[in-house]
Amino acid sequence: MIGDRRCRTRRGESHGPALFGRRDSPPQTSAVIAGFLPIAEAAELTSIGILLAFVVVCAAVIVLRYRRPDLPRSFRTPWMPVVPAVGIVASIWLITYLQWQTWVRFAAWFVIGVVIYFGYSYQRSEPARGQSAAAAGAADDRL
């Protein structure tokens, strides 16, 4: 379900096909993965994705607290930076117990996702379209 929300968010930013941006669509990504893989493999892929996302969030909490202390905070982190650091260490420790095949599958999915994300959004994102229009206008002015 988390992957489906990411797809919808990216579509809202014009970084993905309109098919993935529909708010009323059921969670297709999870269903497809669960339909083609044995449940244990699907569970391990889900685990590695969620744990690595948690590592990124914990690291971001630490970085933002020190680099941007002026940002408004909607919550307080107890024992900062100990709690996020323990979260990072615990998540990495859990990830090390996953099978090597899970790492290979995750790396393949990650590369495919990055290629699709940047390939699709390169020309279709709103900033890219704005820059293209500005560049076209500047080129017309020079003629």
Cis peptide before 81 (omega within 30 of 0): yes
The residue with greater pLDDT, 122 or 24, is 122
For residue 71, give the H/E element and its range.
Answer: none
Choose from 29-33, 39-43, 83-87 the range with maximum mean pLDDT.
Answer: 83-87
Residue range 42-71, pLDDT digits in tens:
888 889 999 999 999 999 999 999 999 898
The model scores a pTM over 0.75: no
| Predicted local distance difference test score (pLDDT) of residue 117 | 83
If pLDDT is split at 50, 70 and 90, which confidence band does 92 have? very high
